[in-house]
Structure 1
């Protein structure tokens, strides 16, 4: 494990949120929000309405800025998110998870909790000087974000589909050459 379990979970959720904006957009309905909430193991408030969907869709660009920034640039985004969200880190244990950090209350809007949890996770990434764990997909036709938590830092594609597309293109290039 590269980071604490809550850091890895928050980073994975943020990458999934940002990549949901890639074609085809996978965050278009309140049902998509509920599925994301459940699949990523979030707790607390979930309004399940159009306003919440709009807030999450708007959050994707800020998270993309954060996940693709250089180390110093990421610090500015993290500090802004934490200040605007009045983050107050506290240790919590719930739902079978051991002690981990929450920095905002469960009653806060879902989009705010996603933003703050991502910012808190990025604090660990920045302090460990591990920004290279985040990158843009190596597929020329994709702008997805890659979270590489592998030991040998070998992950280059945001999805199996992008990796397969690149492998097929490389194979065809070798065959034609």
Structure 2
């Protein structure tokens, strides 16, 4: 596993949790590989708010304080792992740990890398009106502006209609 892929996948996991998405295949596979049970939503609520604040700070180029607070609340337990047969790589939490602690430690460490400018991982906030969801931008030139094709299409159509209306009003 490439370290950057690990950071990117943990960042995707954090974004998925903050957006309130249904568990993805990535999330299920992460939990399976690391012997983590799907956390109870009530337990997860303890983590989601500070996670959202950290992701918002990254997406909005805000202060680093929310990421540091997340690291303080969920300090990583960095160690070398060989669990997947692909050689040694760093982990930020122990396999089989309590789910919220594992997610908190892992995501806090990944987001710390991202806010420090990991060049292959970036987080954005959807630019569609009234959306505000987050996304991991893995486009080649880091120019993504929307969380989904639906938001991009809705915005494009709205802009087209506004231009057409303005042109006919003249």
Please, what TM-score do these two structures have when normalized by structure 2?
0.76
Aligned partners of 2:135 and 2:110: how far apart in 1? 15
Equivalent position of 1:23 in the other structure: none
Could you list the runs of 5+ residues in structure 1 that have no partner in the other structure?
21-25, 27-31
Q: 2:84 aligns with which of 95, 112, 122?
A: 95
Aligned partners of 2:146 and 2:24: how far apart in 1? 26
| Contact kept in structure 1, 2:56 and 2:62, CA below 8 Å | no
Equivalent position of 2:54 in the other structure: 66
Equivalent position of 1:12 in the other structure: 12
Q: 1:139 aligns with which of 99, 124, 128?
A: 128
Q: Secondary structure at the match of 1:156?
A: coil
Aligned partners of 1:167 and 1:141: how far apart in 2? 15
Work out the number of aligned pairs and report it: 159
Aligned partners of 1:146 and 1:33: how far apart in 2? 15
Aligned partners of 2:24 and 2:165: how far apart in 1? 47
Q: Secondary structure at the match of 2:82?
A: strand
Q: Does 2:141 align with 1:172?
A: no
Larger Rg: 2
Please, what TM-score do these two structures have when normalized by structure 1?
0.74
Could you list the runs of 5+ residues in structure 2 that have no partner in the other structure?
none
How far residue 17 of structure 1 moved from its aligned partner, in angstroms, is 1.1
Aligned partners of 2:137 and 2:101: how far apart in 1? 25
Taking structure 1 as reference, are residues 113 and 175 closer, same or farther at Cα in structure 2, changes over 3 Å only? same
How far residue 36 of structure 1 moved from its aligned partner, in angstroms, is 6.9
Q: 1:37-73: per-residue Cα shift (whole Å, max 9, x none)?
A: 41x5222231x57xx2212234222111001115673
Q: Secondary structure at the match of 2:146?
A: coil
